Structure 1
Amino acid sequence: MSSVTIGLLVAAGVLAVGTIALRLAGVLLRARIVPSERVQELLDTGVAVLFCALIATSALIEAQEFVGWARPLGVAVGGVLAWRRAPFVVVVIAAAAVAAILRLLGLP
């Protein structure tokens, strides 16, 4: 094996051990460490920001290029319906239908 392969295997092993240790620490320390209200608010905000970033990159970019307007508009329709507490099936079908109709009309 080459030194690059060995390095990659070592890096993957370190990441695996680190992931397991972090998950185990969460389980073991959950009852002992109680975050303050402010820390809990910051964590909740951080989760929301990361989720929004994931949605934005998935909806707007593919192969490092803008995907066109059909997909983002479909995602926007789904987002509005989810915000209005529509059933999940309705959200998914409406978002897909909007994107499909816009693509049929020639909008990329």
Structure 2
Amino acid sequence: MKYDTVYIVAGIAILSIGTYLIRYSGIYLANRIAFKEHHRQMLSDSACVLLFTLAIFNTIFTENEFSGISKIIGVSVAILFAWKRYSLIVVILVAIVVTATLRYLGFS
């Protein structure tokens, strides 16, 4: 194994052990700690904000570069269809078709 590979394997092992301990602590502490409803709502809201932020950044950027206007328009159309309560498969297919069509037409 190369020197870099050892670091990668060690990093994977540390992250997997940490993930297991976090999950175990949730099960272990579930009956020992009582949260107020306000704090439960705040934790739920913070998880939604984190996922929303991740979705926004993945829409706008691809690796280190701007992903292009076609992807942003495709995601915006998908959000509109989801807001109108279309099924998930329709939302995904519409986003794919809109993004692919715009890229075919020359929008980056």
How would you bin the TM-score normalised by the shorter chain? Answer: 0.7 to 0.9
TM-score (normalizing by structure 1): 0.81
Q: What CA distance in whole angstroms lies between the structure 1 residues aligned with 2:52 and 2:95?
A: 17
Q: Deviations over 1:35-83 (max 9, x none)?
A: 2112112112211111111111211111311111000110111112222
Q: What CA distance in whole angstroms lies between the structure 1 residues aligned with 2:102 and 2:2?
A: 51
RMSD: 2.3
Q: What CA distance in whole angstroms lies between the structure 1 residues aligned with 2:91 and 2:66?
A: 23
What 5-or-longer segments of structure 2 have no aligned partner? none
TM-score (normalizing by structure 2): 0.81
Go from structure 1 to structure 2 and tell me whether the alpha carbon gap of 1:107 and 1:84 turns closer, same or farther (over 3 Å shift).
same
Specify the code of the residue in structure 2 equivalent to 1:39: H
Cross-structure match for 2:60:
60
Cross-structure match for 1:94:
94
2:23 is the alignment partner of 1:20: no
Q: What CA distance in whole angstroms lies between the structure 1 residues aligned with 2:44 and 2:23?
A: 19
